[in-house]
């Protein structure tokens, strides 16, 4: 395997979290340029990035192996002063979104949800192949979801089950910082890591391993 194609997943030491340890010769840390290091360091002083980084680290520390992700999101929101919480949810997970909104309200937050099928635009009207309408005629509209949440001036947006790719477009156009509560995986009950855990057994052939 070419050295230039190797990355962190090919490392067996994970010593970047320690000091004075050995590293593989392809290590991204030891081969890091000063320019790249400084570029990232400067970005943490832009907008509210430093505040978000500090709040994230505190939530990780305070809730380590104690808080659920729902709790972590609320604690993070409090630390950055977020009160109006946008919810960008899949229509297939509307019940989960309602439960999350109920919890947010009970804890002093103001949830505001925009569902993926907002506007109800036909898939074919945007050049999506007609065959895709076999599982539903209305397209998901993540860019409009982001716009409407931007107009609502949400302080923090939370994704609940947007499709692969649709979530990418939402992240791109959301003006507020975004975190994810649920990652959709219809086959595993929205636990996509299950496919990784079974990739050496039940799903091995399916992944071509």
| pLDDT tens by residue, 119-141 | 999 999 999 999 999 999 999 99
Residue 176's pLDDT is what?
98
Structure tokens given for 150: 């931007």
Tokens of 111: 């949830």
Q: CA-to-CA distance for 131 and 125, rounded, in angstroms?
A: 13
Distances (CA, A) of 58 to 55, 78, 84, 108, 146: 5, 12, 21, 21, 28
157 three-class SS: strand
Question: Cα(167)–Cα(161) distance, rounded to whole angstroms?
Answer: 8
Q: Give the fold, CATH level 3, of 82-197.
A: Rossmann fold (3.40.50)
Answer for the pair 172, 144: CB distance below 8 angstroms, yes or no: no
Q: What pLDDT does 143 receive?
A: 98
DSSP conformation class of 137: S
31 SS3 class: coil
Strand order of the β-sheet with 178-182 is 110-115, 84-89, 156-160, 178-182
pLDDT of the chain, 209 residues: tens digit per residue: 666 789 988 987 878 877 667 888 888 888 899 999 999 999 999 999 999 999 999 999 999 999 999 999 999 999 999 999 999 999 999 999 999 999 999 999 999 999 999 999 999 999 999 999 999 999 999 999 999 999 999 999 999 999 999 999 999 999 999 999 999 999 999 999 999 999 999 888 888 89
The pLDDT value recorded for residue 54 is: 98
Please state the domain extents for the chain: 23-66, 82-197
d(CA 134, CA 141): 17
**CA 192 distance to own-chain centroid:** 13
CA 128 – CA 117 distance, rounded (Å): 15
Non-local (6+) Cβ contacts of 41 within 8 A are none
């Amino acid at each position: 395997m070419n050295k230039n194609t190797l990355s962190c997943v090919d490392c067996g030491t994970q010593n970047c979290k320690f000091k004075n340890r050995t590293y593989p010769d392809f290590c991204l840390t030891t081969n890091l340029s000063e320019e790249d290091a400084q570029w990232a360091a400067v970005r943490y002083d832009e907008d509210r990035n430093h505040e978000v980084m500090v709040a994230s680290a505190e939530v990780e520390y305070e809730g380590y192996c104690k808080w659920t992700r729902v709790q972590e999101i609320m604690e993070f929101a409090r630390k950055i002063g977020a009160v109006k919480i946008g919810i960008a949810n899949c229509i297939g997970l509307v019940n989960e979104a309602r439960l999350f909104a109920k919890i947010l309200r009970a804890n002093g937050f103001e949830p505001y949800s925009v569902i993926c099928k907002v506007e109800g635009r036909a898939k074919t009207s945007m050049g999506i192949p007609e065959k895709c309408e076999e599982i539903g005629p209305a397209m998901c509209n993540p860019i409009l979801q982001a716009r409407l949440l931007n107009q609502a001036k949400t302080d923090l947006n939370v994704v609940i089950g947007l499709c692969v790719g649709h979530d990418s477009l939402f992240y791109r156009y959301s003006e507020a910082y975004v975190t994810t509560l649920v990652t959709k995986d219809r086959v595993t009950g929205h636990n996509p890591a299950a496919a990784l855990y079974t990739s050496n057994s039940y799903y091995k052939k399916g992944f071509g391993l």
